[in-house]
């Protein structure tokens, strides 16, 4: 809203003291806050949420964070208190990194921002390297992998004074007893979801939605399209696919059906202007580098580079998009919420095969405590999970899974979404990450959440009348990946080139013979998924390509 009126840095004065804000993100309750602040005697020079946010701090101080609904990372310099306040949104949609170097405190929205400062070097110690091979492509909360650079964790604020830094978690999940009937819960969820989506449609610039034909993106697109029709506007929806993917698609537990047919069915149902972006495999492989430069870290291989290309295409016509991330984490969409053998694993369910990662390491690094680091982080996360007294074993474990997904798996996906989109100057909003939905979902009983024995059962129920039945009952299918052997050949060739280049920094870290065997079998010799559902075979090879690119492009020094 009002980009001209929201220019930054923004400075305002109150009682002879100046307050200055820099800010990345969007507030979805801007008008509610503006009204409350006007009632408190404040006046505004613009319609921007930037001015509302700064004024909220001037009115309520640090307590303003309790009133914000949005995605944000911001810093306020308070001349009166002689302090800087840093804040990151509750779910970690927007990033915020920092480094303390002597008496200097350096911060910014990206790791590259911090690295641009002459005091900060791109150093990777054994802890960072261990984290890559233990937890990657995820990072532990607060980590930026580089030695001396950290990230403000989601839902945290920091107060920086001359001789002191305070780090505080300002938002936490609270367990509560459910008092609603199934019907009431369905209505409540429908209200929260619709309100979250409609709040995020506000803006002065063109807006579209991602539409895969799955439950989550279909819900967002349907509600958005309905809102647009009331304004005599037609929503534009986008999906992606890969050249010749229909020839090579193979159904699996994690990806039972492909998207194009369902996306078109859904578009016809809501009357959207639908566009499918077809990704070329050569471009997909070569964009692995762009994805690393956008993320500043090794990422999720072509899961990143495809989103980078998709965002670049959408940015030709749109500045804002809405996307369906986070619904699976909140409402039990992944197999590890419903399959006992995955649900009860004594580790992160997306890292079940972490022991096999050591095989990629050279003798020098075989002693890295990979399994120990995973176990340490897993157990530490479990200790932080809030519970009610007397929970059944199933409810107790479901809270743990919810919390682990929220703090780890979801944050990784949100990091990917933000970096790939913002690198192309497009802001992707995620209505399911509304903190009110998260709090509500945390306390839904299991039999509601998995109503009729289905993953995301209550979500499906509340969307009746909004979506076609075949969409409501479609089996979950995740973000699409390529199945084309052309892509496999391309990434294998890229990795071979890296192995044959004596200057490749990855050669000091990996077991070259093991990787050569991996290439000879086109990834088939590594039987277990590297991470989650999608990083198998060619995706693992592409991940190693990204790791080498990262070491090289950032001139990473092992210390």
- Residue 176 belongs to a domain: no
* pLDDT exceeds cutoff 70 at 185: yes
- Same domain flag for 92 and 220: no
* φ, ψ (nearest 5 deg) of residue 131: -60, -40
pLDDT of amino acid 532: 76
Q: What is the pLDDT of residue 85?
A: 98
Mark whether 521 and 426 lie in a shared domain: no
**CA 217/CA 197 separation, integer angstroms:** 11
Q: Order of strands, edge to edge, in the sheet holding 156-161?
A: 10-14, 17-27, 70-78, 83-88, 156-161, 164-169
Q: What is the pLDDT of residues 269-301, one digit of tens each?
A: 999 999 999 999 999 999 999 999 999 999 999
Domain boundary among 439, 472, 505: 472
Domain count, the chain: 3
The answer to whether residue 250 scores a pLDDT higher than 70 is no
On whether residue 87 sits in a domain, the answer given is: yes
Q: What pairs with residue 25 in β-bridges?
A: 72
Bin 203: left if φ > 0, else alpha if -120 < ψ < 50, else beta: left
Statement to judge: residues 285 and 323 lie in one domain: yes
Within this chain, do residues 318 and 358 fall inside the same structural domain, yes or no?
A: yes
Same domain, 312 and 192: yes
Mean pLDDT value across the chain? 94
Residue 248 has pLDDT above 70, yes or no: no
pLDDT exceeding 90 applies to what percent of the chain? 88
Whether the pLDDT of residue 38 is over 60: the answer is yes
Residue 130 lies in a domain: no
Query: What residues pair up with 22 in beta bridges, in sequence order?
Result: 75
- Would residue 318 count as lying in a domain? yes
**CATH code, domain with 73:** 3.60.20.10
Spatial distance between the Cα atoms of 525 and 527, rounded to a whole number of angstroms: 6
Per-residue model confidence as pLDDT tens digits over 377-399: 999 999 999 999 999 999 999 99
> What's the mean pLDDT in 129-150?
96
Tell me if 246 sits within 8 A of 486, measured CB to CB.
no
In a domain, 175, yes or no: no
Residues 228, 113: one domain?
A: no
Q: Is residue 128 part of a domain?
A: no
pLDDT in the model for residue 163: 86
Question: What's residue 102's pLDDT?
Answer: 93
What is the C-alpha to C-alpha distance for residues 275 and 272, in angstroms, rounded to an integer?
9
Q: Is 149 found in the same domain as 48?
A: yes
| Residue 153 zone, left/alpha/beta (φ > 0; ψ -120 to 50; rest) | beta
Contacts of 480 (CB under 8 A, 6+ apart): 212, 240, 241, 242, 245, 255, 258, 259, 306
Q: Which domain holds residue 216?
A: 182-472
- The pair phi, psi for residue 400, each rounded to 5°, is -60, -45
**Which pLDDT band holds residue 244 (cuts at 50, 70, 90)?**
confident
pLDDT (average), residues 66-78: 97
Mean pLDDT of the region 314-323: 97
Nearest by Cα to 534 from 247, 302, 241 = 302
* Contact yes or no for 333/455 (Cβ under 8 A): yes
Closest CA relative to residue 323, chosen from 173, 482, 433: 433
**Given a cut of 80, is residue 428 above it in pLDDT?**
yes
Q: For the purposes of burial, counting CB atoms within 10 Å of the CB of 87, is it exposed (0-12), middle (13-18) or buried (19 or more)?
A: buried
- CATH of residue 272's domain is 3.40.50.620
Give a yes or no: residue 127 inside a domain: no
pLDDT, position 360: 94
CB 63 within 8 A of CB 168: no
pLDDT given at position 534: 67
CB 238 within 8 A of CB 208: yes
Q: What percent of the chain has pLDDT over 70?
A: 97
Flag whether pLDDT at 82 surpasses 80. Answer: yes
Write out pLDDT tens, residues 107-128: 999 999 999 999 999 999 999 9
pLDDT for res 216: 96
Higher-confidence residue of 191 and 535: namely 191
Give the range among 55-59, 400-404, 482-486 with minimum mean pLDDT: 482-486
The beta strand positions in 152-219, using DSSP E, are 156-161, 164-169, 207-210
Task: Please check whether residue 501 lies inside any domain of the structure.
Answer: yes
Same domain, 334 and 370: yes
Same domain, 337 and 192: yes
CA distances from 529 to 254, 284, 353 (A): 12, 21, 7
Residues 10 and 115 in one domain: yes
Q: Could you tell me which residue, 206 or 230, shows the higher pLDDT?
A: 230
Residues 241 and 293 in one domain: yes
Has residue 313 got a pLDDT over 60?
A: yes
Please check whether residues 285 and 207 belong to one and the same domain: yes
> What is the structure's pLDDT at 256?
54
Contacts of residue 263, defined as CB under 8 A and 6 or more positions apart, other chains included, come to 211, 212, 213, 237, 239, 274, 276
**pLDDT tens for residues 324-348?**
999 999 999 999 999 999 999 999 9
Instruction: Look at residues 22, 486, 545, 548 and name the one whose alpha carbon lies nearest to residue 244.
Output: 486
The pLDDT assigned to 255 comes to: 53
Collapsed DSSP state (helix, strand, coil) of residue 442: helix
């Amino acid at each position: 809203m009002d980009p001209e009126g929201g220019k930054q840095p923004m400075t305002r004065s109150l009682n002879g003291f100046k307050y200055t804000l820099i800010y990345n993100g969007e507030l979805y309750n801007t008008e509610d806050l503006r009204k409350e602040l006007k009632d408190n005697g404040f006046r505004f020079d613009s319609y921007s949420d930037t001015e509302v946010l700064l004024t909220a701090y001037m009115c309520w101080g640090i307590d303003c964070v309790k009133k914000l609904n949005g995605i944000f990372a911001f810093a306020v310099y308070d001349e009166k208190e002689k302090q800087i306040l840093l804040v990151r949104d509750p779910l970690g949609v927007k990033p915020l990194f920092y480094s303390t170097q002597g008496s200097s405190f350096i911060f910014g929205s990206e790791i590259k921002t911090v690295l641009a400062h002459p005091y900060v070097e791109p150093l990777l110690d054994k802890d960072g390297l261990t984290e890559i091979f233990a937890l990657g492509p995820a990072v532990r909360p607060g980590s930026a992998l580089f030695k001396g650079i950290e990230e403000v964790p989601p839902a945290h604020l920091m107060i920086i004074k001359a001789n002191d830094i305070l780090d505080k978690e300002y938002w936490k999940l609270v367990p509560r007893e459910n008092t609603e009937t199934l019907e009431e819960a369905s209505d409540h969820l429908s209200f929260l979801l619709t309100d979250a989506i409609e709040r995020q449609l506000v803006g002065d610039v063109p807006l579209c939605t991602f539409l895969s034909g799955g439950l989550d993106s279909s819900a967002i697109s349907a509600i958005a399209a309905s809102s647009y029709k009331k304004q005599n506007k037609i929503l534009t929806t986008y999906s992606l696919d890969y050249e010749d993917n229909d020839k090579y698609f193979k159904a699996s537990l994690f990806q039972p059906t492909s998207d194009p047919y369902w996306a078109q069915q859904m578009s016809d149902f809501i009357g959207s202007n639908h566009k499918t972006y077809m990704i070329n495999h050569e471009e997909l492989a070569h964009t692995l580098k762009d994805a690393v430069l956008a993320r500043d870290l090794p990422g999720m291989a072509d899961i990143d580079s495809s989103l980078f290309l998709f965002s670049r295409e959408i940015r030709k016509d749109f500045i804002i998009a809405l996307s369906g991330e986070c619904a699976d984490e909140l409402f039990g969409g992944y197999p590890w919420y419903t399959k006992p053998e995955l649900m009860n694993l004594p580790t992160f369910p997306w890292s079940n095969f972490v022991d096999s990662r050591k095989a990629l390491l050279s003798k020098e690094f075989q002693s890295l405590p990979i399994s120990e680091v995973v176990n340490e982080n897993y157990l530490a996360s479990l200790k932080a999970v809030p519970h009610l007294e007397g929970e059944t074993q199933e409810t107790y474990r479901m809270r743990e899974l919810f919390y682990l997904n929220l703090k780890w798996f979801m944050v990784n996906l949100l990091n990917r979404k933000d970096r790939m989109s913002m690198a192309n100057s497009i802001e992707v909003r995620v209505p399911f990450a509304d903190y009110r939905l998260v709090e509500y979902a945390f306390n839904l009983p299991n039999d509601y959440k998995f109503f009729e024995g289905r993953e995301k059962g209550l979500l499906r129920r509340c969307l009746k009348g909004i979506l076609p039945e075949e969409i409501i009952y479609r089996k979950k299918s995740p973000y699409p990946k390529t199945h084309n052997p052309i892509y496999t050949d391309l990434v294998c060739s890229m990795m071979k080139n890296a192995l044959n280049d004596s200057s490749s920094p990855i050669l000091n870290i990996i077991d070259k013979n093991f990787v050569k065997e991996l290439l000879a079998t086109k990834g088939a010799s590594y039987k277990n998924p590297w991470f989650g559902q999608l990083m198998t075979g060619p995706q693992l090879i592409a991940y190693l390509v990204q790791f080498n690119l990262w070491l090289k492009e950032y001139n990473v020094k092992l210390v």
